[in-house]
Structure 1
Amino acid sequence: MINRPFAALAALLVAHTAFTAAHAQTLDKIARSNEIVVSSRESAVPFSYLLTPHKAVGFSVDITEAIVDDVRRMLKRPDLRTRYIPVTGQNRIPLLVNGTYDLECGSTTNTAARGKDVAFSINFFYAGTRLMAKRASHIGGYADLAHKTVVTVAGSTNEKVLRRQLDTQHIDAEVVLAKDYGEALKTVADGRAAALALDDVLLYGMRANTGEPDTWVVAGEALQVEPYACMVRKDDPAFKRLVDGTLTHLMKSGEFARLYTRWFESPIPPRGANLDMPMSAALKRNLTVRSDLPVQ
């Protein structure tokens, strides 16, 4: 016979233990497990993308590794393990909040709304929403989407910005949502959408790695310039300070600029494509200001 009060109490204790583990201070959690769990994206070129089925590379991955090295030094754990897990636009915040992983440096926009659930580091990139389409489609701007289908990624800020632009200009276009960047690009490549709306740098990265970059065009004015930043759990100032400290050191030492040149102005794997994208004025300014302010 089950003792129901005891069973209920046991269930409550299990739930409380899980909650406590998920909301433990990050450095304590890492020290106990001797492992830091960080996120990666499958196709966010050149920030974080898979070079092999099990190896992510990119600008954000290099920043992540620099942060992990600083965690090792702070905890005096040279043997600290790093485990990468893939995330998407939909699950990156819930999985961080519930303790599944500890740090996200990808291509996530620092917004005031997201700041209610997570904390953001110093901004390390600035991007704006634009369109990418096949050159033969003659999509030159948002007005050309009238009576056509445009795809973007579910859970992204691009969806909100795109819908607002279409409403403001009274453009009758159908917006469809993909689960990730790869699926979004395939939707246009297969002819199921006329254009893809994403952050301009992601579009340049996709175009460079299609194998036929000259058949694609990035078009339209940049909508709402947005900062990218690393995500950490909210109300954990010690870990945010560490992450901000790493970014500050990279920016002041010149290593950040070298990483930028490597990933945005030089040939990158796997095909040796070059985004040929100079650093923006907003990002140059933030190498000195080092703001973590969100876009509203």
Structure 2
Amino acid sequence: MNKSMIVLVAAFAATAVQADTLKKIKDTGSVTMGVRESSGALSYTLGNDRYAGYHVEICQRALSDIQKQLGMAKLDVKYQPVTSQNRIPLVQNGTVDIECGSTTNNATRQKDVAFAVTTFVDEVRIAVRADSGINGIGDLAGKRVATTTGTTSVQTLRKHQRANGVNFKEVFGKDHSDSFLLLESGRADAFVIDGATLAGNIARSKAPADFKIVGEVLSVEPIAIMMRRDDPAFKKAVDDSIKGMISSGEINKLWDKWFMQPIPPGNTKVGLAMSESTKQALASPNDKPMEEYVVK
């Protein structure tokens, strides 16, 4: 075997080891969870390196099940804030082992990463100030529309059939809280993103009654927990844990806790009932991409 072949084999072996997340967890006694700072009630910061939310708690429970599966007395869970821009690269390069935020499962991303079974099906919508006079896509002509860098929401808006001939200016926030601040401060007239993120940011704002979610459903998107690709053992462990939460009814309790009850830090309530699309996804657990969902 020549020198170049040895290098290639060594590189392949290193990649294979890195993809064995269960072994990595067992060997190091730790796991890194990717979290978001302002993804509504799905994943958000409480400050002081503390994170909470529906997907954060689902991940915490899945990792607890994996700890038991591996026979570990202790598992150190480290939290790594991620953004829409860096979340996929950080999963791919091994910095983050499991990403528990608000990532849409689509066909393009499935080429780079893997997704657990869907735990949330969302609708991309438009948030505006209540007194803006904006009630749908047609009212966005000449307006400033905020979105978060690294997301596909405004592209989705532009592709909508009712957006034909509607010209607006796109402004970017570095994360969801920054995008909402653009709306809140008047630097944007609308904010386009998934409804759960919109509802969560509105609920935690200084004056929730000043904002509303309006207009047409722009897309229906399965939101799921993300992992490295080509690591079937870890995906199965996460999927099995989530399926257990679904069959036991625990997932419904978590939904009620994070979307229907007051949540910290301000004890505000998002008030987001489980959609029929989410109920269907939970009834038949799957990791189908958004391309298989239809906007009605």
Residue by residue over 1:256-282, the C-alpha shift from the partner in whole angstroms, topping out at 9 and shown as x without a partner, is 000000111111111111111111111
CA contact (8 A) 1:38 1:101 kept: yes
| Alignment partners' CA distance in 2, 1:277 and 1:133 | 18
Aligned residue in 2 for 1:185: 180
Matched position secondary structure for 1:183: helix
**TM-score, normalised with respect to structure 2:** 0.92
Task: Choose which of 157, 161, 175 in structure 2 pairs with 1:162.
Answer: 157
Aligned residue in 2 for 1:259: 254
Task: Choose which of 219, 227, 239 in structure 2 pairs with 1:232.
Answer: 227
Residue by residue over 1:175-219, the C-alpha shift from the partner in whole angstroms, topping out at 9 and shown as x without a partner, is 122211011011112221111001011111111110211111111
Aligned residue in 2 for 1:277: 272
Aligned residue in 2 for 1:151: 146
Task: Write the letter of the residue equivalent to 2:115.
Answer: F
| Alignment partners' CA distance in 1, 2:88 and 2:147 | 19
Q: Is residue 51 of structure 2 the alignment partner of residue 56 of structure 1?
A: yes
Q: Is residue 12 of structure 2 the alignment partner of residue 27 of structure 1?
A: no
Matched position secondary structure for 1:51: strand
Aligned residue in 2 for 1:5: none
1:22 to 1:172, Cα distance in 2 relative to 1, 3 A: farther
CA contact (8 A) 2:36 2:100 kept: no
| Alignment partners' CA distance in 2, 1:242 and 1:261 | 25
- Alpha-carbon distance, 1:163 to partner: 2.4
Residue by residue over 1:102-122, the C-alpha shift from the partner in whole angstroms, topping out at 9 and shown as x without a partner, is 001211111000000001110
| Alignment partners' CA distance in 2, 1:232 and 1:26 | 9
CA contact (8 A) 2:84 2:150 kept: yes
Matched position secondary structure for 2:170: strand
Aligned residue in 2 for 1:223: 218
Task: Choose which of 130, 139, 144 in structure 1 pairs with 2:125.
Answer: 130
Higher mean C-alpha displacement, 132-141 vs 225-234: 132-141
Aligned residue in 2 for 1:91: 86
- Alpha-carbon distance, 1:22 to partner: 7.4
Count of matched residue positions in the alignment of Structure 1 and Structure 2: 286
Aligned residue in 1 for 2:294: none
Q: Is residue 18 of structure 2 the alignment partner of residue 36 of structure 1?
A: no
| Alignment partners' CA distance in 1, 2:173 and 2:160 | 19
Aligned residue in 2 for 1:72: 67
1:142 to 1:89, Cα distance in 2 relative to 1, 3 A: same
Aligned residue in 2 for 1:114: 109
**TM-score, normalised with respect to structure 1:** 0.92
Detail structure 1 runs of 4+ shifted over 4 Å in the superposition.
Answer: none
Residue by residue over 1:15-34, the C-alpha shift from the partner in whole angstroms, topping out at 9 and shown as x without a partner, is 94995387331111111211
| Alignment partners' CA distance in 2, 1:92 and 1:257 | 27
CA contact (8 A) 2:145 2:169 kept: yes
Q: Is residue 196 of structure 2 the alignment partner of residue 201 of structure 1?
A: yes
Matched position secondary structure for 1:268: coil
For structure 2, which runs of at least 5 residues remain unmatched after alignment? Answer: 292-296
Q: Is residue 109 of structure 2 the alignment partner of residue 141 of structure 1?
A: no
| Alignment partners' CA distance in 1, 2:181 and 2:13 | 39
For structure 1, which runs of at least 5 residues remain unmatched after alignment? Answer: 1-7
RMSD: 2.0
CA contact (8 A) 1:200 1:222 kept: no
CA contact (8 A) 2:146 2:173 kept: yes
- Alpha-carbon distance, 1:168 to partner: 4.1
Matched position secondary structure for 1:128: strand
| Alignment partners' CA distance in 1, 2:211 and 2:36 | 23
